[in-house]
């Protein structure tokens, strides 16, 4: 198949490019390299079936493709709050352009949605039926509402134009190729621990997240995209839940770091607890994460150790 991946030079996108090439597909990676890096896909540039197109999804684009994975959007709060208007334009216009392209080419669209559509959730764990609790005027809204609107566009194109859509709600995912200055918690803590710097814990550390290793998530992407009829939305994440303090302590132990934990103010609207209910992904896709936090952290720590040495 000929497959377009927007945001293909980013953390998740680069793993997806690799996986789809390995399976014999042609891959067009479209990225403006805002948070993506050429080095993430440098090893693919000579592959005869791979093409990198430097382009911004807020401007229209045309390709002849069978499938579109729409991943373009900064995902770390630090990066998506850097230029919030650009973030919401990226989600809304980027998705609109993907759906328009799908309408013309008859391609199937996978939308990388997020657990952030649930906001600071009032139910736990979060099921797909939960409609969410998002502050529409807060500092996270550019991302949360952009992604919610992107889901709306997917379902309106599906109902109005019969576009084949797959909406995956991704929960916190980590692994090699996150940027060292990405700002998300796993990469921040590992890099701080390896450098002997203080671990910056926001709030009292009692807030929870559930961390999925990248390889597990990519398997979920492929299964959802190639399901014959399921539109989603469907949660994709690892239901093993940890407090952020537990994560910090685990990373300190694994890296044998002398670093200390310092407590800083909790950013506005930071969700207090987050854990996916993945019954639907399990029953419909036969999907379950297989990599434990311990194993995934070991691999990710190994990656950053090597990166920081070079």
Decide whether 107 or 170 has the Cβ nearer to ligand NAD: 170
Q: If DSSP codes are grouped into helix, strand and coil, which group holds residue 178? A: coil
188 touches ligand UDP by CB under 6 A: yes
- Applying CB under 6 A, among 25, 127, 200, 299 the residue interacting with ligand UDP is 200
Whole-angstrom distance, CA of residue 231 vs CA of residue 86: 27
Which positions from 77 to 116 touch ligand UDP by CB under 6 A, shown as an x/- string?
x---------------------------------------
By CB under 6 A, is residue 15 in contact with ligand UDP?
no
- The CA-atom distances, in angstroms, between 108 and each of 3, 23, 28, 74, 102 are 10, 18, 15, 23, 6
For 69, 89, 111, 139, 148, the CA distances from 84, given in Å and listed in that order, are: 23, 9, 20, 8, 15
The answer to whether residue 9 forms part of the interface with ligand NAD (CB under 6 A) is: yes
How many other CB atoms sit within 10 Å of the CB of residue 222? 17
Please report, as residue ranges, which positions from 14 to 43 form the binding site for ligand NAD (by CB under 6 A): 31-36
Residue 209 interacts with, from ligand UDP, ligand NAD, none (CB under 5-8 Å by kind):
ligand UDP
Q: What's the CA angle centered on 42, arms 38 and 47, to 5 degrees? A: 130
Report if residue 73 touches ligand NAD, rule: CB under 6 A: yes
3-state helix, strand, coil in the chain (%, to 5): 40, 20, 40
> Binding string to ligand NAD for residues 145 to 184, with x set by CB under 6 A, is what?
-------------------------x-xx-----------
- Beta bridge partners of residue 3, listed in sequence order: 27, 67
CA-CA distances (angstroms) from residue 147 to 73, 89, 134, 202? 9, 10, 11, 24
Which are the catalytic amino acids? 143
Q: Which does 173 bind (CB under 5 to 8 A by kind): ligand NAD, ligand UDP, none?
A: ligand NAD
Q: Does 10 bind ligand NAD (CB under 6 A)?
A: yes
Cβ(57)–Cβ(30) under 8 Å? yes
x-or-dash pattern for ligand UDP, window 242-271, by CB under 6 A?
A: --x----------------------x--x-
The residue (of 31 and 157) whose beta carbon lies closer to ligand NAD is 31
Site string for ligand UDP, 143-172 (x = CB under 6 A): -----------------------------x
CA separation for the pair 184, 116 (Å, rounded): 14
Of 108 and 169, the one with the shorter C-beta distance to ligand NAD is 169
Strand 241-243 vs strand 208-210: parallel, antiparallel, or unpaired?
A: antiparallel
Q: Does 177 contact ligand UDP by CB under 6 A? A: no
**In sequence order, what are the beta bridge partners of 202?**
264
- 90 contacts ligand NAD (rule: CB under 6 A): yes
Q: Are 297 and 250 in contact (CB under 8 A)?
A: yes
Torsional class of 268: left (φ above 0), alpha (ψ -120 to 50), beta (otherwise):
beta
The residues binding ligand UDP (CB under 6 A) are 76-77, 172, 184-185, 188, 200-202, 207, 209, 244, 267, 270
The residues binding ligand NAD (CB under 6 A) are 6-7, 9-13, 31-36, 56-58, 71-75, 90, 112, 114, 170, 172-173
């Amino acid at each position: 198949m000929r497959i377009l991946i927007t945001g293909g030079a980013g953390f998740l996108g680069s793993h997806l490019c690799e996986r789809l090439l390995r399976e014999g597909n042609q891959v067009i990676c479209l990225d403006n390299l805002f948070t993506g890096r050429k080095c993430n896909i440098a090893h693919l540039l000579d592959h005869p079936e791979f093409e990198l197109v430097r382009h911004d999804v807020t401007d229209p684009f045309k390709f002849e493709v069978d499938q579109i994975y729409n991943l373009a959007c900064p995902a770390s709060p630090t990066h998506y709050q850097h230029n919030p208007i650009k973030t919401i334009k990226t989600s809304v216009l980027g998705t609109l352009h993907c759906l328009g392209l799908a309408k013309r080419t008859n391609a199937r669209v996978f939308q990388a949605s997020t657990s952030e559509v649930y906001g600071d959730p009032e139910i736990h764990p979060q099921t797909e039926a939960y409609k969410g609790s998002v502050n529409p005027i807060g500092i996270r809204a550019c991302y949360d509402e952009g992604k919610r609107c992107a889901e709306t566009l997917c379902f309106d194109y599906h109902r109005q134009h019969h576009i084949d859509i797959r909406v995956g709600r991704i929960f916190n995912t980590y692994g090699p190729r996150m940027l060292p200055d990405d700002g998300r918690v796993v990469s921040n803590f590992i890099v701080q621990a390896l450098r002997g710097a203080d671990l910056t814990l926001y709030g009292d550390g009692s807030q929870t997240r559930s961390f999925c290793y990248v390889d597990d998530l990519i398997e979920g992407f492929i299964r959802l995209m190639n399901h014959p009829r399921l539109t989603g939305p469907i949660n994709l994440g690892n239901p093993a839940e940890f407090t952020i303090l537990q994560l910090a302590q685990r990373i300190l132990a694994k890296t044998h770091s002398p670093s200390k934990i310092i407590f800083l103010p909790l950013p506005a609207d930071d969700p207090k607890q987050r854990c996916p209910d993945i019954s639907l992904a399990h029953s419909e896709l036969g999907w379950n994460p297989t990599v434990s936090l311990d194993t995934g952290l070991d691999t990710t720590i190994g990656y950053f150790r090597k990166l920081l040495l070079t």
